[in-house]
Structure 1
């Protein structure tokens, strides 16, 4: 899965409001109730909107467009090079159109925030009829992608990891709410996980001031995470933050169980479940969930906003308390046993090409001597993570282009799960991009060796300083 920032208001829905104005049965029956339903595009007859920019186009005189990172019904996100400041940025662009709150409102809202869980805005511009926000280019994967990766392998997110991410989201929302704003589209797609451990709440395209949160006439959000009062168009004055609390509860339920709290074959049925069906218990689907966490998620999913936790800050404090009471600290529980100190260098070669794996093994034997090496091999990303869980190697030679999980994703998972803190990582690739190298540095992997001619000498230049006592050249 590519590392990218959030792609605008993907999957968000803008529909006529009110309990008697839910989508007609034709629309509801034809659109499954999933996060990926681009209702806004379908309604406006633009299932494939035209790109707003072109690659290599100069925007506002000094932003050179590098490529599109994502798109949704309301906006497109492009990667660009700021030629004046010599840095990569993300441009979120849209043509102003009602009833969607304009991009300028989103930019002004974000500009007021300074918090690790919120994206930084650098500026606002206009180019040939297109509004755009210049913002921090976030490298990483979305929470939705991380959850899908776990689902595809039949695994659930670790409790400690889920608590860490939820706490960061709640802390970010607390800053938003203290500024008198409501996000209104909290969901896994709008949460980015970066290699250096940041949890970033993205996409403020639906943000509204609390004094404006009673705006009538349309309902906006993403169906699996929409609060009952939003669907009924009954958000009271100052009630926007409790809409966010409900969406955070739905996100928490999905993180802990692997599925949304309410699942239905049509939008109409899903909306009815949000408004009438009791929220399921997390512990019914996950027995190791602490009772206090199950209770907190249930409270966030209360139909009556008055019965939900009344502040995101309070939720963050409760989540920290639950995390502190877990029986076994996360890193102690997940840390594999270290390799015994035998004077033997334990090396894990992660390479899907058999011939290249043999070449790398030969180079290592030339550097350290066969008798000083314990060589292991993983042929894809999943095998690599499993091998590290079994025993942390002294050295991991990691190809960046692998089946199943690529090298960047392997590194993110190893770092994210607290594995192998003492292992030396050396990335190898025949075609690493600048963005790959930036991600590697964020992960703390500072050694890179290009494949091809001269690889043996380049490996020696990197490895001898790392293991001088074992090198046959030392």
Structure 2
């Protein structure tokens, strides 16, 4: 059982659990303000690497103040428990926010303007539980099938069970610059199965695309702020992007953040950190990365949200690394001809293997979105 009190905070309820810790809703006893508290287990159960990650997240975030970046309050150790108190974001992760099922809910639909139309009530509460828990993979974006009796928060959660995967921490030495055993990686396109008419209709709903455009713009504004302060997130994925009940986007889970100027420590040579499916080719090779790796990850997210699947679909890490490094991604417009052309071309440019061929800054992407 966790302590009932952590420093000045009273622990109230569980928000999310994972292999290395738990996220709780808590209350500051003096102010009464609600917060989210990330709590690691006590020694010896607490992984020292997880404790370092928690400390790194606090150090990176404590001086940041931006509407699109989650705020942290304090970090500490209480009776052997390492904890981080942070802003409690009430809302949905990015993928759930872009569920077509939200279009059918009161207050969903064609109302993307930040702060103008609160999200419909879903029972969701966000404080990056994905940072702690293994996230499910799924075969289909549209779950359950049309006509199934699932509605409201359950429908949104069902839709959200897509292609997010656990972050790896420092991983094994990648062999992805060599072809996978039994296969040869050549200059061919990643497999692109046709999307069903029903899926295309849902992906291309006007309200959903308006929400997507607005959310990606806010992500870019948050990234521009973070990158301008010399930080690289290194684990950008849908579960680390939350949308609150006033439709403000927050970048979350900075546990793998590094200073861009500290090139030697951005990665240990030959080690892979991040979430495999969203990492840039240079990240998959275990090479030092800069802010353009975050822009590649944004490209993966945008591709997935436009096409209903990520650009690379391999299930095993070595095969996925090979695809990320060697295979050109499918063209968004070839998979979803009804996707907005500007967003489709933006996604494919961000997925360039060579960082020099991507957009170079988040500000450039934001300017393109405002055109």
Q: Which TM-score band (shorter chain)?
A: 0.5 to 0.7
Relative to structure 1, the CA distance from residue 147 to residue 161 in structure 2 (aligned partners, 3 Å threshold; closer, same or farther) is closer
The offset of 1:78, in angstroms, is 1.0
Query: 2:94 is matched with which residue?
Result: 143
The offset of 1:281, in angstroms, is 1.2
1:177-214: CA deviation from partner (whole Å, max 9, x where unpaired):
11111001111111111111101111111111111324
1:296-339: CA deviation from partner (whole Å, max 9, x where unpaired):
11111011111111111111111222xxxxxxxxxxxxxxxxxx
User: What pairs with 1:378-397 in structure 2 (closer than 5 Å)?
Assistant: none
Distance 2:333 2:52 in 1: 39
Query: 1:285 is matched with which residue?
Result: 335
Relative to structure 1, the CA distance from residue 100 to residue 303 in structure 2 (aligned partners, 3 Å threshold; closer, same or farther) is farther
| Contact 2:37–2:85, Cα closer than 8 Å, also in 1 | yes
Which deviates more, 285-294 or 177-186? 285-294
2:293 counterpart (227, 238, 243): 243
User: What pairs with 1:253-268 in structure 2 (closer than 5 Å)?
Assistant: 253-268=303-318
Query: 2:48 is matched with which residue?
Result: 97
1:29-84: CA deviation from partner (whole Å, max 9, x where unpaired):
xxxxxxxxxxxxxxxxxxxxxx6x25xx1112x31111221134444211111111
Structure 2 counterpart SS, 1:116: coil
Distance 2:242 2:50 in 1: 27
The offset of 1:225, in angstroms, is 0.5
Matched, 1:316 2:263: no
2:281 counterpart (228, 231, 239): 228
Relative to structure 1, the CA distance from residue 149 to residue 100 in structure 2 (aligned partners, 3 Å threshold; closer, same or farther) is farther
1:234-269: CA deviation from partner (whole Å, max 9, x where unpaired):
22xxx3211101100000111111111111232222
| Contact 1:96–1:102, Cα closer than 8 Å, also in 2 | no
Structure 2 counterpart SS, 1:126: strand
Relative to structure 1, the CA distance from residue 126 to residue 100 in structure 2 (aligned partners, 3 Å threshold; closer, same or farther) is closer
Distance 2:13 2:50 in 1: 28
Gaps of 5+ in 1: 1-50, 322-474
| Contact 2:272–2:283, Cα closer than 8 Å, also in 1 | yes
| Contact 1:91–1:135, Cα closer than 8 Å, also in 2 | yes
Query: 1:88 is matched with which residue?
Result: 34
Matched, 1:132 2:182: no
Structure of larger gyration radius: 1
Distance 1:80 1:98 in 2: 24
The offset of 1:287, in angstroms, is 1.6
| Contact 1:78–1:91, Cα closer than 8 Å, also in 2 | yes
Distance 1:200 1:98 in 2: 25
TM-score (normalised: structure 1): 0.53
Matched, 1:191 2:241: yes
Matched, 1:215 2:268: yes
| Contact 1:144–1:188, Cα closer than 8 Å, also in 2 | yes
| Contact 2:100–2:203, Cα closer than 8 Å, also in 1 | no
| Contact 1:100–1:206, Cα closer than 8 Å, also in 2 | no
| Contact 1:141–1:192, Cα closer than 8 Å, also in 2 | yes
Structure 2 counterpart SS, 1:98: helix
Structure 1 counterpart SS, 2:311: coil
Query: 1:275 is matched with which residue?
Result: 325
The offset of 1:102, in angstroms, is 2.6
Matched, 1:205 2:255: yes
Relative to structure 1, the CA distance from residue 209 to residue 104 in structure 2 (aligned partners, 3 Å threshold; closer, same or farther) is same
Query: 1:110 is matched with which residue?
Result: 61
| Contact 1:300–1:308, Cα closer than 8 Å, also in 2 | yes
Gaps of 5+ in 2: 41-45, 102-141, 147-198
Distance 2:51 2:312 in 1: 26
Structure 1 counterpart SS, 2:345: helix
Q: Between Structure 1 and Structure 2, how many residues are aligned?
A: 264
Query: 1:59 is matched with which residue?
Result: 6
TM-score (normalised: structure 2): 0.67
Distance 1:209 1:218 in 2: 17
Relative to structure 1, the CA distance from residue 191 to residue 288 in structure 2 (aligned partners, 3 Å threshold; closer, same or farther) is same
Relative to structure 1, the CA distance from residue 100 to residue 130 in structure 2 (aligned partners, 3 Å threshold; closer, same or farther) is closer
Query: 1:164 is matched with which residue?
Result: 214
Relative to structure 1, the CA distance from residue 265 to residue 192 in structure 2 (aligned partners, 3 Å threshold; closer, same or farther) is same
Query: 1:120 is matched with which residue?
Result: 71
**Which consecutive segments of 4 or more residues in structure 1 shift more than 4 A?**
147-150
1:150-177: CA deviation from partner (whole Å, max 9, x where unpaired):
5335421622211111111111011111
